[in-house]
Amino acid sequence: MNEPKITVVIPTRERCDVLEKSLRTVTAQDYDNLDILVSDNASTDDTEAVVRGANDARIKYVNTGKRLSMSHNWEFALSHVDDAGWVTIIGDDDGILPGSLNKIAEIIQSTDIQAIRTRTCGYRWPSPANTHPVVLEVPLASGSELRQARQWLDKVLAGDADYPQLPMLYNGGFVSMSVLQEIKSRSGSFYRSCNPDIYSAVAISSIVDRYVFVHDPLAISGASSHSTGISYFAEKASSEISPAHVFDSEKNIPLHEDLPLSKSGRLTRSIHLLVYESYLQSSCLRPAEDGNRHAEQLEVILAAAGTHSSEIYDWGAEFAGLHGLDYAAIRSKARRRKVIRKLSSTAKAPSLAMANYFVVSPKEPITDVFQASVAAAAIRADIPGPGKRLSGLVKYAARIAGNWIGIENQRR
């Protein structure tokens, strides 16, 4: 059987320092039927030179010609992917583990599904100010399962699962181009939200019946000083050069009309709110719903509020007033839901922690995502025993605690 064609898309902008290593994780793949598309969002740094310097005939470089928002750049990138085959998108500080595309091809060839989602490793790049420890987190589970897409979408909407459990078109997510074409034919474009990764998860789950979830991590999610999500959810206000500020300043796809912005004019910092926004924006992909889900979803949004709870509660009161909802009653239900949620997560925390292996400050530091991908593959090839896992977890907890104390002392 012929190998399925797989296209790896890397949208990028002004990040040639991390792009070089991210791209290397893809060019190092031992897979023949591979296209690599780098979509440069009008960068003024050495992005094009880095791409050309990779000297790989499988790479196609495209440039938007003018600055676009994140969602529009990703849409532009997909418009340059051939109609046949499968596609994945990775961030320019993310990567793919060695041999991953061969494993994905095996699943494609042995099933009739149109979407695959895998677990991912986590890697924190060195920060310029060294304010965070360099950490590699490697899930140790293996195997795969066939999931019902709408069932898992409902779990996410209920707050019982996180959106990365869905078949998204982002790091660790692989989708048949036929699915993307179906979505575009119904909605006019693939992306209809300013949060392209979350939107892709909700939209694809609204179209496909089933998907394969792979417990083996086949990709690596990088967190660097360039990361928009990390910047946006940081506690401190973003500077004018931060990824969050750049994101806010762009002419992106407007928020759904039923959802107000925060008092500051930004997106309210709630992951579940962004999930619900994508759900509303993708309504054309599903049969007509019976009534709206505003009250139900507001309860879940409030129950999931954490670091930015004050901001989320203020937004919730405004949202409730806008739609004539009983905010006091919904918030009371959310408090009860939050207690149950916390008890459940506390009970599961030890087993979940031991299901991963943490590498903190090794003798030979892991300085970039390519090195992290190689290290993760080596760990997966020789799974650490319980004692070594516990040691790694303790080191990680100690480093995080020490880092937090250092930051607090600096503030004083």
User: If you count them, how many residues does the chain have?
Assistant: 412
In a domain, 128, yes or no: yes
Angstrom distance (rounded) from CA 259 to CA 136: 37
Residue 401 is assigned to a structural domain of this protein: yes
The residue range of the domain holding 410 is 1-259+270-288+357-412
- Distance (Å, whole) CA 122 – CA 124: 7
CA distance 154 to 185: 24
Residue type, 297: Q
- 10 Å CB burial of residue 238 (0-12, 13-18, 19+) is middle
The pLDDT of residue 362 is above 90: no
Is residue 307 one of the residues assigned to a domain? no
> Residue 247 in 3-state DSSP?
helix
Is pLDDT larger for residue 117 or for residue 264? 117
pLDDT in tens, 230-267: 555 565 555 545 565 565 556 789 999 999 988 777 78
Whether 337 is in a domain gets the answer no
User: Does residue 98 carry a pLDDT above 60?
Assistant: yes
Decide: helix, strand or coil at residue 389.
helix
Numbers of helices and strands, H then E, in the chain: 15, 11
What span, in angstroms and rounded, lies between the C-alpha atoms of 42 and 272? 31
Answer yes or no: is 74 within a domain.
Answer: yes
The DSSP H or E segment spanning 118 is strand 115-124
The answer to whether the beta carbons of residues 40 and 122 sit under 8 Å apart is no
Q: Is the pLDDT of residue 124 over 60?
A: yes
pLDDT at 224: 87
The pLDDT value given to residue 128: 65
Region 124-142: mean pLDDT is: 80
Task: Please report, rounded to a whole number, the percentage of residues in the chain having pLDDT higher than 70.
Answer: 87
Q: Give the relative orientation of helices 149-157 and 271-281 as an angle to the nearest 10 degrees.
A: 130
In a domain, 303, yes or no: no
Could you tell me the CATH number of the domain that includes residue 240? 3.90.550.10
Distance CA(371)–CA(374), nearest Å, equals 5
Torsions phi, psi for 236 (to 5 deg): -75, 160
Residue 32 reports pLDDT greater than 60: yes
This prediction's pTM: 0.90
The 10s digit of each residue's pLDDT in 171-222 is: 999 999 999 999 999 999 999 999 999 999 999 999 999 999 999 999 999 9
Give me the pLDDT at residue 410, please: 33
Whether 172 is covered by a domain: the verdict is yes
Report pLDDT for 132.
60
- Residue 360: predicted pLDDT: 84
Q: How many domains does the chain have?
A: 1
Say how far apart CA 39 and CA 182 lie, in whole Å: 23
Q: Which of 217, 189, 155 is nearest to 73 (CA)?
A: 189
In a domain, 83, yes or no: yes
